[in-house]
Each structure stands twice: as C-alpha cells, then as structure tokens.
Amino acid sequence: MDLKQSIEGLFTRAGFNDDDRAVYEEFKTALRTGEIRSAERDADGNWHANTWVKQGILLGFRMGKMVEMSQPTETLQFFDKDTFPLRPMTLEDRVRIVIGGSAIRDGSYVAPSVVVVPPAYINVGAYVDEGTMVDSHALVGSCAQIGKRVHLSAAAQIGGVLEPAGALPVIIEDDVLVGGNTGVYEGTIVREKAVLASGVILTRSTPLFDIPNSRIIKSDGDKPLEVPAGAVVVQGSREISTGFGKENGLSIYCPIIVKYRDEKTDASTKLEDYLR
C-alpha cells in the first residue's frame, strides 16, 4: 500500500498503534524533504490542494500526545504534541537561520538558500522554495506555499489554511515581494512577480481594484482571490456612498493595483539581494 492510501486509511481510524505511528513518521519525512506537498500547480498554472496530505497533517494532531518540549535548563517552557517537534536542521541543509529565536516546525519544507531572520515562524505543511527570505516577525502559516526568491518582509503574515482538508492554502508564487505588515489569508493566490506594498490585507472576501485595467477582481465562488502576475498592490480606501457612512464621510479599506511591474519596480526590489 502506498503512502497516500495508508494516510487515507488511517484518517478514518480512531485508535493507533506503533505501526501506524511509523507510517505517520514516513509521511512527515516526505513533507520535510519536499517529496510531497499540501498543494501543487498543474501545467496550466492552476493550483490544487492535495487533500490527503492535509489529512495526514491533521492525523498528526490526533495521533500525538502532549509532551514537554523544553529542556530542564530553559526558563521558557513549551508543551505540544510529540508528533510536531521542531524541524531537525543541520548545516548541510544550507538554510541560513540567523541567531535570535526563530522556529521551524517539523513537517515543513525549507529549501537550500532560504534565509530566516528572527523571530520568524514556519508552520507544519508549509513549503518555502529556494532563495526566499523570511524576515523578522514574519509568519508562514500551515500549508502555505511560498515560491522561489520571495521576500516576506518584517511582520508579514501569510495565513495558514489547514481545514477543511480540501481547501486551497495561501499561495505566493516566484519573485513576489510581500511588504512589511502585510497580511495574505484564506487561500489567496499571489501570482509571480507581484508586489504587495506595506500594510496591504488580502482575503477571500476582499475586492481588489485594478486601476490600469479598469476592473474589480473578486473571488469566484469557491475559488480564492487571485492577484495577477506583476501587479503592484497598495492599500487604499473607497468612500461609503449610502446611509450613515455617507452622512459621516466614512471610507472603507480596499487594496488597489496602481500599476504593473516595470524596470523601476525591479530596481527598487533588487536591493534585497545584497542581504542574501
């Protein structure tokens, strides 16, 4: 029986034995090495959640037992499921983890040449590809998929989507710049080379106003909000046109595409290369 069938079978079970735990550990190792991932892009550029992989992660929570994970000599104490310790790391992984208190949970894939600046957190099921920088106070949520050469700036929050198992997690494609204090949630897809300016918030229910193309981009039914490739998104506002909001001159937040990436944008984002 292959790993997928084994996980799907265990997911419907209530009790677990040592052999079941061995299957789970094999599954977690495959996640850690990038052999499997919680979402994948097909040849047409469409992203699909791997439901069975997310089921395997959820299985770990059911299978695990609460243990103390801190050392007796440590002042700070940590208690978590024994199925989700910190990811084992060595110098051979070629991941640059700057000293200062970041945490990478086991069951996540972190590629060679990734830079993690403290304090940052990468959760289970996440996939962080080559050349990406996870800056200070940045979060990579459970099952989030981060492409190559992405910069997650300070305090950027990439939300996790673990349940339901079939839901697409947040996707950040190659060469995207995510500005400081930016939040991307609820399975939003940010296509390659997009730039999210500081403070932008994107969710499934957030309409995105595309000024160059005179259109409003919204999530379509069960499909997530999708930021076009090369879009430069800033935070903006739109006035409330009726009722109490209009009477009091109120406005509501909205993200706005002000332009699409050009040589000037490339020059300003290239500065981060000197930090790698």
How far apart are alpha carbons 201 and 273 in whole angstroms?
25
pLDDT of residue 203: 95
Q: Quick check: 187 and 168 in contact, CB under 8 A?
A: yes
182-196 pLDDT per residue, tens: 999 999 999 999 999
Is 90 exceeded by the pLDDT of residue 166?
Answer: no
The percent of residues above 90 in pLDDT, for the chain, comes to 86
Q: What is the pTM of this model?
A: 0.93
**Which amino acid is located at 172 in the chain?**
I
The domains found in the chain, sorted by start residue, are 86-264 (2.160.10.10)
Is 90 exceeded by the pLDDT of residue 75?
Answer: no
β-bridge pairing 195-196 and 177-178: parallel
Predicted confidence band of residue 221 (pLDDT cuts 50, 70, 90):
confident
Predicted confidence band of residue 250 (pLDDT cuts 50, 70, 90):
very high
Residues with Cβ within 8 Å of residue 237, at least 6 apart in sequence: 251, 252, 253, 254
CA separation, residue 186 to residues 46, 170, 206, 224 (Å): 17, 6, 10, 7
115-143 pLDDT per residue, tens: 999 999 999 999 999 999 999 999 999 99
pLDDT of residue 130: 98
